[in-house]
């Protein structure tokens, strides 16, 4: 069965993946002969490689403005959504490198394996984003996950990092098993691994009024595997320990790009692969969403460690993202799908900027011999560095969903999608729990502006890092006031699904 779409003879849409693979291998070999401990050359080469991949992705978008394109017998798909998410991944990895460089250099942790593992993890994200087959999904997922396990354990002298890596690995293996079991059941019911073919065959089974309990049972395991990768309740247990135990640069990486790839995996497998079972998996996502928002926001209040607080915040935010993802099918039709999925995508873009800014600020305020990880470390920041305190305040306001930041519009968009899909009770509960969550974000602002400083060492960061941090904060402010262009881009991306 041939996937619906236009099949290209050439492999231009896969050029970014090919270039990244070759570049990462070349960089790995080249770094063996570099004597510079600062690794200025390899760092610059990694940034150039990311820029080249971004330009190639933009070229692919320009060459294929309309429709979807399938490669490798339907294993790989290129469409506006994949291009947008890949650009977002390049940006998140590039910004993570900018924020992390000084931190890693001061601690002697900017080793060649860090850059290599980071680039191969990015390659896994790209494969996962463009996956159109269960095999490709699993290939991209495991390539990304194995690199992340190694990155968490990279600081071999830290017992906390080693413990976090073991927890991440064991629970990640368990989730992969659940996902594989669900995939095998869907394959047993349909006889194909290609997602577009799975969608057509599932529609026929549903329309024929055949017993679909086997399919639904498989979907339960698929959703469980997806829920672990996204990090929602009750599959969230790894997030606080991994975020806390890993070094802050690795936590920054885990909290941004992999979340984008997990969102893409959810869209590919549920929206593209199993749309006929939307009434079933939307109910599951509804339960996961409300539990995640509740547990994440309530538990974060009790945290004194910033990384653990942001970990529980991430659980809550993934719950908000699911509100959009579960609102595409409503009253027996797909009339709400563009608004719902574009709202969910917009939320992921904004969340990526927020998490880059929040963990980036922790790196920004750290220096040799001091890691900014506790709430008390932010006390009196306004007296020492008013501009950075303002940027952190914008980030906290955006995380809390307070206007005029982008986080407010992102939450408003997913609430509107949920209400339009008749999930009014979910939207009301999410709004009330958002008020609970606002407490621990505003507590950070209070510490920065009204408490006496504990840490008095001035912040000394390269000019480029200061510029990127400023742009990160201003992004959340500008697109909170003028979100139309970014939302229009998200609408275009999901309209081709």
DSSP tag of 305:
B
CA distance 464 to 453: 26
Better-scored residue on pLDDT, 46 or 41: 46
> Is 156 inside any structural domain?
yes
| Weakest-pLDDT range from 260-269, 316-325, 351-360, 452-461 | 452-461
> Of 339, 340, 308, which Cα lies nearest the Cα of 325?
340
1 lies in some domain: no
* Residue 253 neighbours by CB under 8 Å, 6+ apart: 93, 96, 118, 121, 148, 151
Asked whether residue 266 is assigned to any structural domain, the reply reads: yes
What's the pLDDT score for residue 8? 42
Report how far residue 43's alpha carbon sits from residue 105's, in angstroms, rounded to the nearest whole number: 11
Tell me which residue has tokens 């002298």. 157
Q: How many CB atoms lie within 10 A of CB 496?
A: 14
Q: Look at residue 3 in the predicted model and tell me its pLDDT.
A: 46
pLDDT, residue 143, reads 93
In the predicted structure, residue 159 carries a pLDDT above the cut 70: yes
Q: In terms of pLDDT, which residue wins out, 39 or 133? A: 133
Residue predicted with more confidence, 458 or 402: 402
Per the structure, how many domains does the chain have?
1
Lowest average pLDDT, out of 107-111, 156-160, 340-344, goes to 107-111
| pLDDT of res. 414 | 92
Query: Is 361 within a domain?
Result: yes
- The label of the residue with tokens 């974000």 reads 441
Q: Is residue 211 part of a domain?
A: yes
Work out the mean pLDDT of the chain and round it to a whole number. Answer: 87
Return the percent helix, strand and coil in the chain, to nearest 5: 75, 5, 20
Range of the domain at 433: 6-495
Q: Tens of pLDDT along 357-374?
A: 999 999 888 877 777 888
* Phi, psi (degrees; rounded to nearest 5) at 71: -130, 165
Distance CA 345, CA 244 (A): 27
End-to-end CA distance of the chain: 19
Residue 451 has a pLDDT of 81
d(CA 164, CA 156): 12
For residue 5, pLDDT beyond 60: no
Q: Which of the four pLDDT bands, split at 50, 70 and 90, describes residue 7? A: very low
Res. 292: pLDDT tops 90: yes
Angle between helices 337-365 and 306-325 (to 10 degrees): 170
User: How far apart (Å, rounded) are the C-alpha atoms in residues 204 and 245?
Assistant: 48
Is residue 473 scored above 50 in pLDDT?
yes
C-alpha to C-alpha distance for 238 and 249, rounded to whole angstroms: 18
Question: Closest Cα to residue 38, out of 418, 462, 421?
Answer: 462
Range 184-201 average pLDDT: 88
Q: Does pLDDT of 88 surpass 80?
A: yes
**pLDDT tier at 4 (50, 70, 90 boundaries)?**
very low
**pLDDT (tens digit per residue) in 420-470:** 888 888 889 999 999 988 899 999 999 989 888 776 677 777 788 889 999
**Mean of pLDDT values over 469-496:** 90
Q: How confident is the model at residue 196 (pLDDT cuts 50, 70, 90)?
A: confident
CA pair distance 142, 87, nearest whole angstrom:
21
Phi, psi (5° rounding) for residue 133?
-150, 145
Find the mean pLDDT for residues 334-340: 83
Does residue 347 contact residue 282 with C-beta atoms inside 8 Å? no
**Is pLDDT at 6 greater than 50 in this prediction?**
no
Q: What is the DSSP string of 220-268?
A: HHHHHHHHHHHT-TTS-THHHHHHHHS-HHHHHHHTTHHHHHHHHHHII
pLDDT of residue 66: 64
């Amino acid at each position: 069965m041939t996937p619906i779409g236009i099949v290209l003879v050439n492999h231009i849409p896969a050029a970014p993946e090919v270039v990244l693979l070759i570049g990462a291998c070349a960089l790995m070999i080249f770094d063996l002969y570099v004597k510079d401990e600062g690794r200025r050359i390899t760092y610059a080469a990694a940034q150039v490689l990311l820029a080249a991949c971004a330009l190639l992705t933009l070229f692919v978008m320009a060459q294929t403005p309309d429709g979807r394109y399938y490669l490798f017998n339907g294993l790989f798909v290129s469409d506006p959504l994949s291009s947008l998410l890949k650009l977002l991944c390049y940006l998140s990895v590039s910004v993570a490198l900018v924020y992390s460089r000084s931190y890693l250099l001061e601690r002697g942790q900017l080793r060649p394996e860090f850059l290599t593992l980071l680039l191969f993890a990015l390659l896994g994200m790209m494969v996962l984003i463009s996956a159109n087959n269960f095999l490709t999904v699993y290939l991209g997922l495991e390539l990304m996950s194995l690199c992340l396990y190694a990155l968490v354990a990279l600081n071999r002298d830290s017992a906390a990092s080693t413990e976090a890596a073991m927890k991440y690995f064991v629970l990640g293996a368990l989730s992969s098993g659940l996902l594989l079991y669900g995939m095998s059941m869907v394959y047993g019911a349909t006889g194909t691994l290609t997602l577009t073919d799975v969608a057509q065959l599932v529609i026929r089974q549903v329309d024929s009024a055949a017993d679909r309990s086997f399919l639904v049972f498989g979907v339960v395991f698929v959703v469980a595997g997806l829920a672990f990768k996204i990090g929602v309740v009750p599959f969230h247990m790894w997030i606080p320990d991994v975020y806390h135990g890993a070094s802050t640069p690795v936590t920054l990486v885990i909290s941004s790009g992999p979340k984008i790839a997990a969102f893409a995996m959810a869209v590919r497998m549920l929206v593209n692969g199993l749309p006929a079972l939307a009434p079933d998996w939307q109910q599951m996502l509804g339960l996961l969403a409300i539990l995640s928002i509740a547990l994440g926001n309530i538990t974060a209040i009790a945290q004194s460690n910033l990384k653990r607080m942001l970990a529980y915040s991430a659980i809550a935010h993934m719950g908000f993202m699911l509100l959009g993802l579960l609102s595409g099918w409503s009253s027996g039709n797909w009339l709400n799908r563009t608004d719902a999925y574009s709202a969910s995508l917009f939320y992921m873009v904004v969340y990526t900027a927020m998490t880059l800014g929040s963990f980036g600020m922790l790196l920004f305020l750290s220096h040799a011999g001091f890691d900014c990880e506790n709430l008390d470390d932010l006390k009196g920041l306004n007296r020492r560095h008013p501009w950075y305190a303002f940027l952190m305040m914008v980030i906290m306001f955006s995380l809390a969903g307070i206007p005029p930041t982008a986080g407010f519009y992102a939450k408003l968009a997913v609430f509107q999608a949920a209400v339009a899909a008749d999930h009014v009770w979910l939207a009301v509960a999410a709004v009330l729990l958002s008020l609970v969550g606002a407490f621990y974000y505003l507590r950070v602002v209070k510490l920065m502006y009204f408490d006496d400083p504990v840490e008095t060492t001035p912040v000394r960061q390269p000019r480029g890092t200061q510029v990127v941090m400023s742009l990160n904060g201003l992004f959340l402010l500008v697109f909170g006031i003028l979100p139309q262009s970014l939302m229009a881009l998200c609408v275009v991306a999901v309209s081709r699904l």
